[in-house]
Structure 1
Amino acid sequence: MSSPSAMNELQLSSTTHLTHVIEYCNELGIQWEEIAEQCFLPVDIENNREWVRSDNLLQFVAILERRVNRNIGLDIGRRATSSFQTFFRQNLVGITSIEEALKTLLKIMPKMNNHLSIWLEQIEGEYWLCHRKSRNPSSPGYAQIEWYNIFLFCTFLRAFYGHTWSPRKIKVMSIYHADAAYKYFPRSNIDFECDFSAIKVDDLTTTEGIHRVTTSGDIKQGITKLVTSYATLPWFTIEWFAKIMCTTPRTLQRYLRSQNLSFKQLKEQTRKECAIDLITNTSMPIHDIAWRSGYNDLSNFNRAFKAWTGESPSSFRATSKDSKAILDSLRC
């Protein structure tokens, strides 16, 4: 990406997916931190991270595929089943029909990435849950991510049908990992090199009211999400962010101005919201809050916080506690 303005979209993925890859690496004792940094991915994803560039995640998975395991996507998908199942079951409470369950899935998916098309289609009298990423299937790492997504959608359907359910038919765009795929899906008929990925859905009689979801990968929205995800890193600068965006700081600044965005304002607003939330809602020491908000130096944090609120962090915390005490007394 030499020029952001030349892009049609900025593809993002939830750090939930990155978490599953890292858990897999930790379980097998794989040293992943250096690879993550090489791919401009955060190594402290527990610290309020929400989004990463999908290109960076794909690169990370591709390197792990070469170095560690050709079946990494299948292995990670299987290991992530339990956490996904808990999440999906929570969203399916009270839902009794597969039609309503699929409508719920289509609402959930934009929260997990911004570049996946999902739809229901009737093919030769059978109904399929279809999805397609806006990426060439021959891209390094694509097959791994595709199989991971197949596991994700199967887990959703198992949360509805029951844990013993297995798809009778699967379509994938990639041509790799046939042996491993049949190992994990021994009862499924799998077609490779298809135009899209899909899972046959049981008991569905109509697609009426179940509308296709295509997330746009809007650049302005994507940049805003990335800035708010990374702004609390102490080293978060326009130079560092430009590397993530595969461009130069000057070109990135020019593009941000064309979109009426200010890197400094987005960064400061994110750090401010993080600091105020931690000061108001936790008993965390101020020096720890400074670090969590992106400041290695406490005095710099104190100056920034006073500029934001007109008060020092300790004074703001005391005022917040007094206000809460008054509200609590009024409720009694």
Structure 2
Amino acid sequence: MKRKLVNCLEFGHVVSILDGIASRATVNRGLEAAGLDRSLLKGRTAFIPYAAEAVLVETVARAIGDRHLGARVGMKFQYSAYSVYASYVLSAPDLASALERGRRALYLIHPGSEILFRQTETHLVVGRDTKGLSVIGHRHLDEGALFVIAQVGHHFLGQDWVPDWYEIPASPPDSVRELEELAGTKIHANAHVPGVAIRLSDLATVNPAPLQSDVALTLESLAALMNVAPKQTMKEAVVEILQSLMDSGTPDENSVAKLLAIGPRSLQRALRAEGVSFREIRTQVTIGYARTMLAKTDVSLKDVAKKAGYSDERSFRRAFKAATGQSPSLFRASLKTGAAELSQTDQ
């Protein structure tokens, strides 16, 4: 089962934009509502659930009374936040090639999503699919995506370029009028996916300012350069969530299911189909987290157990030994002994 995820490069930039629109306390409440926190902003190259980003923006939008907050975030979004993905797209020789590059490499920033092209007699409509998404706040991300996609057009056609129209899924007439005023162009409602209309005659526009790079960017090299791998299986998605939130406490099965915008039983069935259980994944992640703490800090075993999500030190010791074959104390001692021997060898 594929889940729609968002690269933390985008997530971190969205949070910084929201911080400039609403108070930090309001954004923090939005993060809490989404089951997230600011620890995800610490230079991570990972993914969060698309549904969680949607809940964040929706919560902030409700708090400040802005039903087009997603569009405003999209208008402020800096495409360069996508790192080498942006370089790959914006170094294309022409606009048509750039759009195709963005479509092919989308899995690096939005695993589980897809860029769709629809051609009319005069225009190419570039959209991002939202199939199967009914999560709270997804409308904000739909609107924001329009302006992010349009930034590729701005690079080739100039900052004053405006699409002939945008397309959005069903929306009330008064909301459409507000969005038209904000976007400065026509809005076609009731579309299958949010999309940007680009004239066919503009697709051959030559790149006026190719982004320079010391590395020859290819689709094959991008994943390594970005130090990420797309998370497509349910197990990988669960591991990503647990690892991302370990610093603020290990979420339970119900919380993880909520972040994935599915029910607990659906999560259980998906994991069972992949031959693993939530409990097994959680143990794998918590023991890995504990190993890192034992190796790199002098935190007491009691505190390591607590941070790893165990109710008491005894339960932690039992689980750690079952997983590693060593007690936590012996594991830490063996690391110190090995480090000391290596130091003596280097002298």
Q: TM-score, normalised by structure 1?
A: 0.68
What is aligned with 1:204?
203
Secondary structure of the equivalent of 1:45?
Answer: helix
Q: 2:116 aligns with which of 116, 119, 123?
A: 119
Is it true that 1:181 corresponds to 2:194 in the alignment?
A: no
Contact 2:89 2:99 in 1 (8 A): no
Are residues 157 and 278 of structure 1, via their aligned partners in 2, closer, same or farther at CA, if it must alter by over 3 Å?
Answer: farther
What is aligned with 1:70?
67
Contact 1:172 1:196 in 2 (8 A): yes
What is aligned with 1:148?
144
Is it true that 1:235 corresponds to 2:235 in the alignment?
A: no
Is it true that 1:295 corresponds to 2:290 in the alignment?
A: no
Contact 1:65 1:141 in 2 (8 A): no
Deviation at 1:198, TM superposition (A): 1.9
Deviation at 1:62, TM superposition (A): 2.7
Q: CA RMSD in A?
A: 4.5
Are residues 324 and 79 of structure 1, via their aligned partners in 2, closer, same or farther at CA, if it must alter by over 3 Å?
Answer: farther
Deviation at 1:87, TM superposition (A): 5.3
Deviation at 1:105, TM superposition (A): 0.7
Q: What CA distance in whole angstroms lies between the structure 1 residues aligned with 2:94 and 2:256?
A: 45
* Larger helix share, 1 or 2: 2
Is it true that 1:316 corresponds to 2:309 in the alignment?
A: no
**Paired amino acid for 1:55:** A
Q: TM-score, normalised by structure 2?
A: 0.66
Q: 1:81 aligns with which of 71, 75, 78?
A: 78
Secondary structure of the equivalent of 2:115?
Answer: strand
Alignment of 1:94-173 (within 5 A): 94-135=91-132, 140-173=136-169
Is it true that 1:14 corresponds to 2:7 in the alignment?
A: yes
Q: 1:267 aligns with which of 269, 273, 282?
A: 282
Deviation at 1:305, TM superposition (A): 7.5
**Paired amino acid for 2:299:** H
Deviation at 1:262, TM superposition (A): 3.6
Q: What CA distance in whole angstroms lies between the structure 2 residues aligned with 1:156 and 1:278?
A: 43
What is aligned with 1:41?
36
Of all paired residues, the percent bearing the same amino acid is: 16
Deviation at 1:41, TM superposition (A): 3.0
Contact 2:57 2:137 in 1 (8 A): yes
Q: What CA distance in whole angstroms lies between the structure 2 residues aligned with 1:318 and 1:102?
A: 55
Q: How many residues align?
A: 306
> Which stretch of structure 1 is more off in the superposition, 71-80 or 108-117?
108-117
Deviation at 1:233, TM superposition (A): 4.5
> Which stretch of structure 1 is more off in the superposition, 70-79 or 126-135?
126-135
Deviation at 1:110, TM superposition (A): 1.8
Unaligned runs of 5+ in 2: 205-229
Are residues 296 and 78 of structure 1, via their aligned partners in 2, closer, same or farther at CA, if it must alter by over 3 Å?
Answer: same
**Paired amino acid for 1:181:** L
Are residues 217 and 233 of structure 1, via their aligned partners in 2, closer, same or farther at CA, if it must alter by over 3 Å?
Answer: same
Contact 1:41 1:57 in 2 (8 A): no
Are residues 270 and 104 of structure 1, via their aligned partners in 2, closer, same or farther at CA, if it must alter by over 3 Å?
Answer: farther
Are residues 216 and 86 of structure 1, via their aligned partners in 2, closer, same or farther at CA, if it must alter by over 3 Å?
Answer: closer
Are residues 14 and 94 of structure 1, via their aligned partners in 2, closer, same or farther at CA, if it must alter by over 3 Å?
Answer: closer
